[in-house]
Chains A and B, each alone.
Chain A
Amino acid sequence: MAVELIRDKWVNKVNTLKLGSGMEEGGSRSSTLTVGGVSTLPYLFSDGQMPHRPVIAMEILDTKPPDWPKALSEPFNGVLDNPVEWAKKCVNEYKAEVLCLKLQSTHPDFGDASPDKAASTVKAILGAVGVPLIILGSGNDEKDNLVLPKCSEAAKGENCLFGDATQENYKTLTASCLADGHSIIAESPIDINIAKQVNILISDMGFPLEKIAINPTIGALGYGMEYAYSIMERARLAALAGDKMLSMPFICFVGFEAWRAKEAKTPQAEHPEWGPEVERGLMWEVITATSMLLCGADILVMRHPKAISIVNQTIDKLMKK
């Protein structure tokens, strides 16, 4: 019996987003990457294409992270208080394809480092490694509006991905990214309507839709992951059905969420039935990442080098047509 398969016919595809600029485009990156461009629900290759593989960005902080469990900080021993060395280790030793720098130290509660200091860190990292850079503020709106324009200027022409623009705070960052040729992350709190709204607000300032990535805000496995999962499925369905204001690649902050989970941090002594914490922490990050891939993630920001290597292998398997 010939079973007549049901093929979804989509009318639209997700935008492609380029990370980094090489010499010929006015930047200095020795490698660049492209994400997005999908014209099917995740990994259904008989319905459409996924021309670009999802990528994993390795997260680094510009200050020693105070709350990382031992299993997570161990691979970075000796470089955690030096973002440039940390960046080099990620690229040279752990083969990171993209780095995501969080300017944590600029937060008033975590050191209140100056905008100039942050900009010089960005410059130093761009000089030390050749991969594309994602640059995040500290999450303090007022301070980010001082810090990020300086960093944007310092990275002019490098086509970094800057974040996060929110519904309440998008103007300063959008203007900087527009002036200096960067892409932007539009953040929304697990809400498809706000996701769309932020994209509209940013594009109303003349910012090209093709240079926006959606941060839908995710939860870790077991901590509200399913909300993001469904929001991403809905947004992607809308994009494929033609909604240009939701046709952006997704960026998911997997490492940040997964390593806050109790299951990722708690020593075996406290929960013997959970087994050894090293593997458990890894797998919490890995399965949070896998879940996000299955609902359409294009960029995963992750932390543990081994978790990254496991998920990269899974991506290879998923992309095998």
Chain B
Amino acid sequence: MALSGLDIYKHLPKTNCKECGFPTCLAFAMQLAAKKVDLSKCPRITEAGKAALDSASRPPIKLVSIGKDDQKLEVGNETVMFRHEETFYHPTGLGFLIEDTLTSDEVSQKVSSINKLKFERVGQEIKVDLIALKCASSNKETFVELVKRVSSQTDLGLVLMSDNPEVMKEGLDIVKDRRPLIYAADKDNFEKMAELAKERSLPLAVKAQTLDELAVLVEKITARGVEDLVLDCEDKDLPKKIQELTQVRKLALKKTFRPLGYPTIAITASTCPYQEVTEAASYVAKYASIVIMKGVEPWQVLPILTLRQNIFTDPQKPLQVEAKVYEVGQVSDKSPVLVTTNFSLSYYSVESEVESSRVGAYIIASFAEGLSVLTAWAAEKFTAETIAKTLNECGIKDKVSHKEVIIPGYVAVLSAPLEEESGWKVKVGPKEAAGIPSYLRSLKNS
């Protein structure tokens, strides 16, 4: 729960020393509440005051990081139940299960497949985050061998999975510098697991059958000084799991219920490769911070990563591309010129269709604050004036020897005013990007 300026003021020294740059402690408190300054600017804050403000200002869902450097995954610190209320900040970490009962060849093959799961979509790279290594053999040596093998073959973040603290310790000794997630503390092993996590400052997953048991366990573990936790409400039917993930998020956000104020992990239970994908998709949409699945086929993973990209797109800030001239395919000074807005979905839809038409063309992404064609037109961000200005200033005049521009079919009404405004001849293209290849080909043949 956010603190008010007055709540904060109570813990400040009230000396009005002005060293923070504000005239009074109250003024400073107000700025703190608005998160415009940092508490460290106050030179006279007492340790007690600092501790009180730190814990009270902790976000309702703790931010937890797994992995290091380029592969660091940060999960948690969400602020809303629905993306339209603000946005979802930390995309679900997606990981893949490898058990130590596989042969070494099978393991290497699987790791190599997982390493390749990177895709380019609307100008962003979307990729997987974690590999979860599970001791299914109950044998320390085979688990250690798996951890060694996989850690030497991938840079991805790691989750080590065993209920046995002895086995866990051996695994951690190999990869502790990579900040793996320890999975998991339960009611029987939590003392030892908490100790392993504390000694190495590593994140720890906590699992229990019910939310009641989970909350009790979390309190026992935090009392031991381990704070980087990830919660698992264990195997359940899909709707029950969705309900519990929803409750964890809701209790943390609406009641600042500290024992459940942590990111969550969900491990798929489906044995059917198709159902596993719909199960994983359900967890991505419904509040799991980390999802661990078994299937590594691109047809299973690409839809999940795309869903994650969709759900975690900021609804206030649509993805934009740089407003400029793009060259697609083999272009010459005779190539057609198409114009669309700088909304990335619009731009990339046009780009991919131009690409598949095999007709080289220039695409101008006209600046329209990242709105789609019709929305931008309605909001007067994509008008004869703005397009004419773009045509004049983007440098297209030096690239082509003609003065013909193709506009989206939905804004056919702009033809005449744009011709007048720009001096370019305007052609009306198809309404949907899907119509571009046949349009360009017919243009070429005419």
Contact = CB atoms under 8 A, between A and B. Distances in A.
A91 interface: no
Contact of A226 (B243, B298, B315): B315
Contact of A275 (B246, B298, B310): B298
A230 B83 contact: yes
A51 interface: no
Contacts of A233: 82-84
A221 B307 contact: yes
Contact of B239 (A45, A224, A237, A284): A45
Interface residues on A, range: 35 or more
B211 A3 contact: yes
Nearest to A289: B278
Contact of B307 (A2, A230, A287): A287
Contacts of B302: 263, 274-275, 280, 283
Interface in B230-267: 237-239, 242-243, 246-247, 250-251, 254-255, 257, 259-260
B285 to A, nearest CB: 5
B428 to A, nearest CB: 15
A12 interface: no
Interface string A285-296: 011001100110
A9 to B, nearest CB: 13
B61 interface: no
B50 interface: no
Interface stretch (B2-10, B31-39, B155-163, B212-220): B212-220
A287 B254 contact: no
Given A3-B211, A3-B251, A287 B278 contact: yes
B345 A224 contact: yes
Interface in A234-258: 234, 237
Contact of B285 (A46, A291, A319): A291
Contact of B309 (A5, A222, A294): A222
Contacts of A1: 212, 215-216, 219, 259
B300 A222 contact: no
A225 B239 CA distance: 22
Main SS of the interface on chain A? helix
Contact of B311 (A46, A226, A318): A226
A1 B211 CA distance: 9
Interface string B126-169: 00000000000000000000000000000000000000000000
A6 B256 CA distance: 12
A262 interface: yes
Contacts of A310: 274-275, 278
A320 B243 CA distance: 12
Given A5-B211, A294-B285, A280 B82 contact: no
B304 interface: yes
A230 B255 CA distance: 24
A222 B286 contact: no
A45 B281 contact: no
B352 to A, nearest CB: 5
Contacts of A311: 278
B274 A46 contact: no
B200 interface: no
A283 B315 CA distance: 25
Contacts of B275: 310, 313-314, 317
A279 interface: yes
B278 A319 contact: no
Contacts of B170: none
B184 interface: no
A286 B374 CA distance: 28
A76 interface: no
Nearest to A270: B356
Interface string B402-441: 0000000000000000000000000000000010000000
Interface in B184-232: 211-212, 215-216, 219
For B211, B215, B302, which residue has the most chain A Cβ atoms within 10 angstroms? B302
Interface in B255-300: 255, 257, 259-260, 272, 274-275, 277-279, 281-282, 285-286, 297-300
Contacts of A3: 211-212, 215, 247, 251, 257, 259-260
Contacts of B397: none
Contact of A223 (B212, B303, B349): B349
B108 interface: no
Nearest to A286: B278
A213 to B, nearest CB: 22
For B247, B303, B345, which residue has the most chain A Cβ atoms within 10 angstroms? B303
Given A3-B212, A46-B243, A286 B274 contact: yes
A313 B238 CA distance: 12
A283 B352 contact: no
A65 interface: no
A310 B303 CA distance: 15
Contacts of B250: 6
B89 interface: no
Given A6-B247, A6-B251, A283-B274, A319 B239 contact: yes
Contacts of A320: 237-239
A37 to B, nearest CB: 17
B345 A287 contact: no
Interface string B16-50: 00000000000000000000000000000000000
Interface of A: 1-3, 5-6, 43-46, 67, 189, 221-226, 229-230, 233-234, 237, 260, 262-263, 273-276, 279-280, 282-284, 286-287, 290-291, 294-295, 310-311, 313-314, 317-321
Given A226-B315, A291-B310, A317-B237, 6 more contacts: A221-B306, A222-B306, A226-B311, A230-B82, A230-B84, A275-B302
Interface of B: 82-84, 116, 118-119, 121-122, 211-212, 215-216, 219, 237-239, 242-243, 246-247, 250-251, 254-255, 257, 259-260, 272, 274-275, 277-279, 281-282, 285-286, 297-300, 302-304, 306-307, 309-311, 313, 315, 345, 349, 352, 356, 374, 434
23 contacts: A3-B251, A3-B257, A5-B251, A6-B250, A44-B242, A45-B243, A189-B374, A222-B306, A222-B309, A230-B82, A230-B84, A233-B84, A273-B298, A279-B299, A280-B298, A283-B299, A291-B285, A313-B272, A313-B274, A313-B275, A314-B275, A317-B238, A318-B242
